[in-house]
Amino acid sequence: MDFKAILFRILPGLILLLELSPPALAQSERVKDFNNNGWYMYFGDHKLNDRWGLHTEVQWRRHNVLKDPQQLLIRAGINYDLTPSAMFTLGYGYIETHPYGDFPAAGTFPEHRIYQQLQLRNSLSRVGLLHRYRLEQRWIKRAGAETSTYLNRARYMLKATLPLIGTSTDAGEPFLAAYNEIFIGFGNNIQRHIFDQNRAYAALGYKINDAAMLELGYLNQIVQKANGTVFEHNHTWQVSLFYNLDFRSN
């Protein structure tokens, strides 16, 4: 059995172990905060030439599905294709977070973020797989603070897509999508939340044309607050538009 086959066998178990560990460590003092949110998102990876491209992204995140503000996220990056199935991205993000839930922040606060990302694509039979590895350097200025707090975070996402017609997803055809993403904090300023959050997602998608796809899905997000005792359980409706432009000349 080759290395890739072994990895695919053990990876689900590792992800499950990481998800289960934080509740076990904090079970005696955990406080649960349940929320219903809505995330409305645009993603674009735009080819400039055979190697280079641009990433653009806007996420409008709302508390109580649509009624109240939760977050505004704007992210951009420079893509470089290492191979046809591997892409590296270096980018910047701005995030504005608003108070929400039963344990809200003291006020609205900004975050500036630099990130490095590697995406690997492959497939198992009809299932397309995307592995995304991301490192983030974060500067967060809490409400009332005079200076920003610097934090490091690592993320890993495994996403699977399954065409519902044929062996590949073509224009005008639906598909299913699912992913799990784990967030781990590290560095000097991490308090009691080394486990930062986990996101589990399932969606129905539709490929509009060669450049555009739409996904309608549900996200179960578990977030551990910095104090280590409050865990958000966020039930989140997601609407995602993927629109990738190709600026290469014919």
Tokens of 8: 């695919």
Provide the CATH number for the domain around residue 147: 2.40.160
Structural domain includes residue 150: yes
Instruction: Check residue 228 and give its pLDDT.
Output: 86
Domain that holds residue 57: 3-243
Structural domain includes residue 51: yes
pLDDT more than 90, % of the chain:
78
Residue type, position 7, single letter: L
Give the C-alpha separation, 99 to 226, whole Å. 15
Q: Which of 6-10, 61-65, 88-92, 157-161 has the lowest mean pLDDT?
A: 6-10
Instruction: Check residue 96 and give its pLDDT.
Output: 98
Distance of CA 188 to the CA centre of its chain: 24
Instruction: Check residue 27 and give its pLDDT.
Output: 52
Strands (E), the chain: 31-47, 52-63, 68-83, 86-97, 109-124, 127-140, 149-163, 173-186, 195-207, 212-224, 230-243
Give the C-alpha separation, 220 to 233, whole Å. 7
**Each residue's pLDDT tens digit, 184-224:** 999 988 877 789 999 999 999 999 999 999 999 999 999 99
Token look-up 């519902």 returns 164
Quick one: average pLDDT of 63-84? Answer: 98
29, HSE (Cβ side, Cα atoms, 13 Å): 8
Quick one: average pLDDT of 38-54? Answer: 97
Quick one: average pLDDT of 84-100? Answer: 97
Structural domain includes residue 249: no
* Residue 3 banded pLDDT, cuts 50, 70, 90: very low
Mean pLDDT of the chain: 90
Quick one: average pLDDT of 226-239? Answer: 94
Give the C-alpha separation, 16 to 24, whole Å. 13
Pair 162, 126: CB distance under 8 Å:
yes
CB atoms inside a 10 Å sphere around CB 188: 7
Structural domain includes residue 250: no
Instruction: Check residue 28 and give its pLDDT.
Output: 54
Pair 171, 207: CB distance under 8 Å:
yes
Query: What total of structural domains would you count in the chain?
Result: 1
Structural domain includes residue 78: yes
pLDDT more than 70, % of the chain:
88
Q: Is the pLDDT of residue 150 over 60?
A: yes
Pair 211, 245: CB distance under 8 Å:
yes
Residue type, position 71, single letter: Q
Structural domain includes residue 16: yes
* Residue 79 banded pLDDT, cuts 50, 70, 90: very high
Q: Is the pLDDT of residue 118 over 90?
A: yes
* Residue 30 banded pLDDT, cuts 50, 70, 90: confident
Structural domain includes residue 248: no
Tokens of 93: 């993000």
